[in-house]
Amino acid sequence: MLSAALDAPGFAPLPPRARTLLETLGAPPRLGAHLRVVHDVAVTLTGWVGPRVDVPAVLFGAATHDIGKILHPEELSGPGSAHELAGYSLLLSQGVDESLARFARTHGSWDAADVTFEDLLVTLADKVWKGKRLPELEQRVAARLGGAPWETFLALDDELERIAAGADERLAFQAAYPTSG
Ligand SMILES: [Fe+2]
């Protein structure tokens, strides 16, 4: 079932290293599907933002941010943040560099002082995939984009509106895969 979630058409393929980690660590199919849709949104978002961010880092982060849910599967279907540090440690233990593992621990705390533009984009992808809009987060992203503040905010808002329009399709895709097995 995991490989079905990872191979299903309609969403961008995960970075090979992220895929290998999910397979090696035995990710539940639902987690694989979730990471597919968030990564796909991150592909769109980074394409819009352009090369001013570390695109491979954002895409790897989007593809692995919830990997700690392998150790905390109850957080696949319920609330909880134990997966964040657990995922960070898990990635480090697999030899992933801190600069790429960090997204597992930062995606839940985007208002922290040391948050990077890349962190903000992974968090944004993890919200807008399901149509969730967070004005404060979006204002932070717009500020990092630079340019005229109001115009930038409106342009980002347009892009996020376009992405959010696909939320139902993503939610249905993710829900089709079981949380275990
Ligand atoms: Fe997520």
Residue 152 Cα, ligand 1 centroid: separation in angstroms? 26
Q: Answer whether CATH 1.10.3720 is correct for domain 2-175.
A: no
Please determine, for residue 67, whether its predicted confidence score (pLDDT) is greater than 80. yes
As given in the structure block, the two tokens for residue 74 are 């109850």
Protein residues placing their CB within 5 Å of the ion ligand 1: 66, 126
Contact between 87 and 34 (Cβ < 8 Å)? no
Residue 7 Cα, ligand 1 centroid: separation in angstroms? 19
- In sign, the C-alpha dihedral spanning 87, 88, 90, 91 is positive
Domain ranges of the chain: 2-175
pLDDT value of residue 113? 81
Please determine, for residue 181, whether its predicted confidence score (pLDDT) is greater than 80. no
As given in the structure block, the two tokens for residue 98 are 């801190």
pLDDT tens digits for range 10-38: 999 999 999 999 999 999 999 999 999 99
pLDDT tens digits for range 91-129: 999 999 999 999 999 998 888 888 999 999 999 999 999
Q: 40: Cβ–Cβ under 8 A, 6 or more apart, which residues? A: 11, 12, 129, 170
Residue 25 Cα, ligand 1 centroid: separation in angstroms? 17
Q: What is the mean pLDDT of residues 150-160?
A: 96
Residue 144 Cα, ligand 1 centroid: separation in angstroms? 22
pTM: predicted TM-score of the whole model, two decimal places: 0.97
Residue 127 Cα, ligand 1 centroid: separation in angstroms? 8
Residue 142 Cα, ligand 1 centroid: separation in angstroms? 21
How far is 61 from 151, CA to CA, in rounded Å? 28
Residue 34 Cα, ligand 1 centroid: separation in angstroms? 7
